[in-house]
A and B are shown apart, each in its own frame.
Chain A
Amino acid sequence: MHSEARPPLALTLGAVLGLLFLHLPILLIFLYAFTTEDRSYQFPPPDLTTKWFGVAWNRADIWPPLYLSLRVAAISSGLALVLGTLCAAAMARARFFGRDTISLLVVLPIALPGIITGMSLRSAFAIADIPFSTWTIVLGHATFCVVIVYNNAVARFRRLGASMLEASADLGANSFQTFRHVILPNLGSALLAGGMLAFALSFDEVIVTTFTAGQQSTLPIWMLNELVRPRQRPVTNVVAIVVFSATFLPILAAYYLTRSGEETAGGGK
Chain B
Amino acid sequence: MTAAVEFHNVSRHFGTVRAVDRVDLAIDEGSFFAMLGPSGSGKTTCLRLISGFEKPTTGSIRIFGEDMGDVPPNRRHVNTVFQDYALFPHMNVRDNVAYGLMVKGVERRTRHERAEELLSLVKLDGFGERKPAQLSGGQRQRVALARALVNEPRVLLLDEPLGALDLKLREAMQDELKALQRRLGITFVFVTHDQGEALSMADRVAVFNDGRIAQVGTPSDVYDRPATRFVADFVGSSNVLPPDLTRSFGGPRLWASLRPESIRFTGASDPKAKGRVTALRYLGSGTRVALETGGQEIAVLVPAGAPVPDIGEVSGLTWDPAALHLMEDA
- Which positions in A face B, CB cutoff 8 Å? 161, 163-164, 166-174, 177, 181-182, 185-186
The 8 Å CB contact of B88, one of A166, A170, A182, is A182
Minimal Cβ-Cβ distance residue in A for B95 = A181
Number of A-B contacts (CB under 8 A): 65
Smallest Cβ-Cβ distance to A186: which chain B residue: B90
Judging by beta carbons under 8 Å apart, are A169 and B73 in contact? yes
Chain B hits for A171, CB < 8 A? 74, 79, 99-100, 103, 147-148, 150-151
A161 touching B84 by the CB < 8 A rule?
yes
A163 touches B104 (CB 8 A): no
CB distance from B281 to the nearest CB of A (A): 40
B126 interface residue (CB < 8 Å to A): no
Q: Which of A169, A173, A182, A185 has the most C-beta atoms of chain B within 10 angstroms of its own C-beta?
A: A169
B: which residues have CB within 8 A of A? 51, 53, 72-75, 78-80, 82-84, 86-90, 99-100, 102-104, 147-148, 150-151
**9 nearest A-B pairs in the assembled complex, by CB-CB distance:** A171-B100, A167-B86, A163-B86, A173-B103, A185-B90, A169-B73, A169-B74, A164-B86, A170-B80
Does A172 lie within 8 Å of B90, measured CB to CB? no
Can you give 8 A-B contacts (C-beta < 8 A)?
A163-B82, A163-B86, A164-B86, A169-B53, A170-B148, A173-B103, A174-B74, A174-B103
A163 in contact with B100 (CB, 8 Å): no
Between A166, A177, A185, the greatest number of chain B beta carbons within 10 A of the residue's beta carbon is seen for A166
CB neighbours of A177 from chain B (8 A): 103
Contact B80 A167 (CB under 8 A): yes
Most chain B C-beta atoms within 10 Å of own C-beta, residue among A166, A171, A186: A171
Bound Cα distance from A163 to B87, whole angstroms:
9
Q: Is the CB of B79 within 8 A of A170?
A: yes
Residues of A within 8 A of B151 (CB): 171-172
Q: Tell whether, in the assembled complex, residue A170 and residue B74 are in contact, meaning their CB atoms are under 8 Å apart.
A: yes
Cα-based distance from A168 to B82 in the complex (angstroms): 11
Contact present for A181 and B102 (CB under 8 Å): yes
Residues of A within 8 A of B147 (CB): 167, 171
Q: A161-B86, A163-B86, A186-B89 are in contact. Are A168 and B99 (CB under 8 A)?
A: yes
* Beyond A166-B53, A170-B148, 20 extra complex contacts between A and B, CB < 8 Å: A163-B83, A166-B80, A167-B147, A168-B99, A169-B53, A169-B72, A169-B74, A170-B78, A170-B79, A170-B80, A171-B99, A171-B147, A171-B150, A172-B74, A172-B100, A173-B103, A174-B103, A181-B102, A185-B90, A186-B90
In Å, the complex CA distance between A126 and B151 comes to 60
> CA–CA, A170 to B52, complex, Å?
9
Residues on B with beta carbons closer than 8 Å to the beta carbon of A168: 88, 99, 103
